[in-house]
A = this chain, B = another copy of it.
């Protein structure tokens, strides 16, 4: 069973024609006669011919690979985006190579370089939390390799982007709480200045302002957005005696952490405190009470990112205004913020 793989030369030999003709026949080149094409494809099937992508990659300079770089793979959000990218890519006979930076800048740099090295045809990436220096991405652009950024992006690179309207998400979350009658709304956000969190915060402030509620810096807690940060953030507020009646957390994890603390203290959710998270993680259905959150449509984001990538691939040297696609988030109301007043 270990027959060598058939090549176009094998096909050519059997048919007494040359490899070039076979190659053209398989690519449906108009210069080849119908009869020859049929003979070639028949013989190809007979020999179970599988084109060697590596050879054609070498010759054509195209690897049919897209490199995808994400901070971390085991978040519903990122893996769903990847799935979205894959769906589009596979349909166009491209493969996807996924790498994680694990939020470590050094990894991000080396992984980007490794991908360039592997001659991927382009890169789709989301920035790490701590990424300040963008040289490695600039390098990608300079080499003429198509680059698409999604979600955690930056405007400091002239390249295509897909983002969620995080501002709107923050606004919707906050407005929802206000309409439910909450007034003193805590906000969990990050210490670092990642675009998405800044935008969510901006939405929060705008909603407050629109409803005539003064912004209070004391109500803002800054952390790393993990479960633990939510626990500590809310604990500190309680200790400091800060009065609040709701939480809008830019992360579902931190929101869940805060809920745990509050419940342990006997604070009722949503009666005493309403809670809204962000991202609509899988577990938002499973907390008690279920957590209201902002849904982001990550699959669609993947689709769009891949689409932008293929667009860029088709117009290599043409670098007009990079496109920025903004997707709309959606508020998913669950019990954690539903006060029956």
A residues within 8 Å of B by Cβ? 1-2, 50-55, 57-58, 63-65, 73-74, 76, 79-80, 82-83, 86, 90, 95-100, 114, 116-119, 142-144, 227, 256, 260, 263, 282-283, 285-288
Q: Which residues of B contact A114 (CB under 8 A)?
A: 90, 95
Chain B residue nearest to A260 (CB atoms) is B286
Report the minimum CB–CB distance from A190 to chain B (whole Å): 20
CA distance A192 to B73 in the complex (A): 28
CA distance A312 to B161 in the complex (A): 42
Contacting pair A286 B287 (CB below 8 A): yes
Q: Which residues of B contact A95 (CB under 8 A)?
A: 97, 99, 114, 118
Chain B residue nearest to A2 (CB atoms) is B144
- Among A57, A80, A143, the one with the most B-chain Cβ atoms within 10 Å of its Cβ is A57
Chain B residue nearest to A51 (CB atoms) is B117
CA distance A266 to B288 in the complex (A): 14
List 8 A-B pairs, minimum CB-CB distance, nearest first: A283-B283, A288-B288, A74-B79, A73-B79, A1-B142, A256-B286, A54-B58, A54-B57
CA distance A154 to B69 in the complex (A): 33
Contacting pair A53 B83 (CB below 8 A): no
Contacting pair B98 A98 (CB below 8 A): yes
Q: Which residues of B contact A119 (CB under 8 A)?
A: 52-54
